[in-house]
Structure 1
Amino acid sequence: MKTYSACFIMSLLFFTKANAQDIVKLNDYLITKVSINRQTEILSVNEDINNERYTIEATNDLRTKLSANYKFLGLGFGFSPPQSDRKSKFLEAKLNLFLSKWVLGADFSRIKGFYAQNIDFQNPDRDFPDLKSTSYRFSAGYLLNDRFSYKHLFQLNEWQRESSGSFIPSFTYRYNRISDFIDGDKVVQHNSDFTLSPAYYYTWCVDQNWFVTPAISPKFGMRFSKDDTNKETYFTRGFNFRLQFGFTNERVAAGATFTFESNNINYRSTRSTINDRNHAQLYFAYRFNAPKFLQRTVESIEREFGL
């Protein structure tokens, strides 16, 4: 009987230890990450007046993004300088906070210049070099499964070594300001979007170092839009598919992500739009020993707010 009890206790201890090792914490490292992105933003326009449909896009071939993460805090910056007369300008800044099971984010982005997809189609009515989209976004998500690591994919200060997935319901508020010049006059449109998304992620661990993570995110919400003359309310819907695969060990994280995002807005005016975004990214991150001044600063913030 004692032998069975001892085996049971040893098995329980082993199982507990194995579960404890499902996610390895790497909070003491300062993570620096560089990524090269190929991101395409396409705007499909239907004009009922002329019974025409055409597409324009932001023509940023490559975007460079730099980020640094430490414990609960993540900062990022992205840019894409213009390379020719038909190149769009892109600028982005991000702040992420990981507080227990909560994932909080705020970001700013600005894109200027949308052009006809067919370069040979020389119609100035289809090129919008002064069209500028400026966005501010705030989001909050909640992780439902402790055995799935969201930080393993984004913050990179955890290492998930056993397969697991989780629903991550989220709420997003986004303010978008679109401006352009038409016949010498500046036209501005203000959009406020409120969106709910019951996203689901699943990480397959091929072994302890390699992984594959698909994710799906249906979206539903409302848009409140206004310009100089009109105020409108619209229902919105969308769908995101994301695929990430990569390599992780204690010091290095590297991989690639592919994202497709489609947003549909039910306009009741003379113009309807569908905005599609395709995104491919290669990334490399290295975990450094955090400098002492950073440790002291962040630890004082954690003590002050009980994090």
Structure 2
Amino acid sequence: MGLKPLFSVLFLFSFLAMGAQNSDSQTDSISKSEYIQSFPDKFTARLFYVNTSNSFELSNRNTAESISLVPNKQDKIGSKVSYRGFSLSYSFAPDFLAENKDNEGSRLFNINLRSYFGKWMQTLDIYSEKGFYVKDDLNETYLPKTKSFKIGGSTGYIFNENFSFRAITNQDEKQVKSAGSFIPQLIYYYTNYRIRAEGEGDLEVDEKYHSTDVAINPGYYYNWVPTENLLLSAGASAGIGANFSGGSNADSLTSLLYDFNFRGALLYDFSDFYAGAQYSYLILNHNSDRSTYTEDNIPYFQAFIGYRFDAPQRVKDLSDNINDTIDSIKN
């Protein structure tokens, strides 16, 4: 995927998120209900540390043998500024972090976006990786030219309006009273990966695979507020759907897909200052061909510290104008 199409997708995603806010119900810098305190006219800024990747476990159903495709992982640090669903962030992989010491020639690029349209929640995930370790019970081999690309996300509906997912992910809201919600989601991902191993003669390997996942994923999440400034959040979802796979040396196959996603978060939120960590783990299980079973894993960990501050009036006016334009189109 080129940079121009990618940036166009990201801009459209953020623009729609910014315009989807309720323009007629939030005009003060702070709005508070019995369960949720929101900050519609404040910037939320954060510094963060991220560890994430997309790995694959391939198992032979006939012999019980398995191999793992594990990317040469990178830890990243960065910063992010958000306002009414519009976000701008930058991150990089510094050499001084231990995980990045031996990643010369490898690449890990990822984007994780989440936005809200009323009770609807939309995510977009992109992973582009180059440089994988191939591991089995006896050996570990590094393949610098092996690479993968994944794009997808989910569309979910939050049934309980007193439950704030924003308090977990964006910190532009604060959960002030414990609440939970049933959240069904439709998830969808497209993945392709290319395994390349250089050798002599028949030892050279160059194989391509692609996979499309679609599943219904109901789940339940709960925000527990034991004290005024502390939030503990946990939830899980599990679903079933279909996978469509194929490759250069494999016939196209449609198989049953099982998925599981766990999410947990810890947040301390005092006045305009906040700090915390969040962790999630998504597993997609399916057949890649008639003899191979694949476990597609996406772990994600982020630790952060941030601060909220009032947005300039010019920015508020611009956002309100966008809301008014979208409202006029709807009417």
165-174 or 274-283, larger mean C-alpha shift: 274-283
Q: Choose which of 193, 211, 220 in structure 2 pairs with 1:191.
A: 211
TM-score w.r.t. structure 1 length? 0.81
Instruction: Indicate the SS of the match to 2:169.
Output: coil
Pair 1:169-2:184 in alignment: yes
Matched, 1:224 2:244: yes
Relative to structure 1, the CA distance from residue 51 to residue 284 in structure 2 (aligned partners, 3 Å threshold; closer, same or farther) is same
Distance between the aligned counterparts of 2:114 and 2:54, measured in 1? 23
Query: 1:236 touches 1:263 (CA, 8 Å); kept in 2?
Result: yes
CA distance in 1, matches of 2:161, 2:61: 50
Amino acid in the other structure paired with 2:234? P
Task: Give how far 1:237 is off.
Answer: 0.6
Conserved in 2, the CA contact under 8 Å of 1:242 and 1:258?
A: yes
1:127 maps to a residue whose letter is Y
Alignment of 1:13-32 (within 5 A): 20-32=33-45
CA change 1:206–1:258 in 2 (3 A) is same
Structure 1 stretch 193-202 or stretch 103-112: which is displaced more? Answer: 103-112
Contact 1:86 1:115 (8 Å CA) reproduced: no
Question: Are 2:128 and 1:110 equivalent residues in the alignment?
Answer: yes
The structure 1 residue matched to 2:264, chosen from 243, 253, 262, is 243
Q: Aligned residue for 2:46?
A: 33
Alignment pair present for 1:100 and 2:118 = yes
Flag the 1:78–1:263 CA change in 2: closer, same or farther, 3 A.
Answer: farther
Write out aligned runs for 1:147-162 (5 A): 147-162=162-177
Cα distance in structure 2, aligned partners of 1:98 and 1:163:
20
Deviations 1:261-281 (A, max 9, x none): 332113442322223344332
Contact 1:163 1:203 in 2 (8 A): yes
Structure 1 residue aligned with 2:13: none
Is 1:90 matched with 2:108? yes
Cα root mean square deviation, aligned: 2.9
Contact between 1:159 and 1:249, CA under 8 Å: does it hold in 2?
A: no
Aligned pair 1:207/2:227, yes or no? yes
Post-superposition offset of 1:25 = 1.3
- AA aligned to 1:273 is T
Gaps of 5+ in 2: 1-31, 95-99, 199-203
Contact kept, 8 Å, 1:78 with 1:93, in 2: the verdict is no
Give the letter aligned to residue 159 of structure 1: K
Q: Superposition pairs for residues 281-292 of structure 1, below 5 Å?
A: 281-292=302-313
- Structure 1 CA distance for aligned equivalents of residues 138 and 50 of structure 2: 27
Unaligned runs of 5+ in 1: 1-18
Q: How many angstroms does 1:226 deviate by?
A: 2.8
Greater CA deviation, 254-263 or 48-57? 48-57
Check conservation: 1:256, 1:283, Cα contact below 8 A. Answer: yes
| Between 131-140 and 58-67, the greater mean CA deviation after superposition | 58-67
Which runs of structure 2 are paired with 1:23-62 in the superposition (5 Å)?
23-39=36-52, 41-47=54-60, 52-62=65-75
Distance 1:56 1:178 in 2: 10
Secondary structure, counterpart of 2:73 in structure 1: coil
Q: Indicate if the aligned counterparts of 1:77 and 1:92 stay in contact, CA closer than 8 A.
A: no
Q: 1:50 to 1:20 in 2, by over 3 A?
A: closer
Aligned length: 286
CA distance in 1, matches of 2:256, 2:65: 23
Aligned partner of 2:279 in structure 1 is 258
- Deviations 1:244-271, CA, capped at 9 Å, x for gaps: 1111133122112233333211344232
- Given that 2:246 and 2:288 are in contact with CA atoms closer than 8 Å, whether structure 1 keeps it comes out as no
Residues 51 and 137 of structure 1: CA distance in aligned 2, closer, same or farther (over 3 Å):
closer
Is the contact between residue 247 and residue 255 of structure 1 (CA under 8 Å) also seen in structure 2?
yes
- In structure 2, relative to structure 1, the CA distance for the partners of 1:93 and 1:281 (3 Å cut) is closer
Shift of 1:108: 2.1
Identity, % of aligned positions: 23
CA distance in 2 between counterparts of 1:144 and 1:281 reads 26
**How far apart, in 1, do the equivalents of 2:72 and 2:105 lie?**
5
Distance (Å, rounded) in 2 between the aligned partners of 1:224 and 1:52:
23
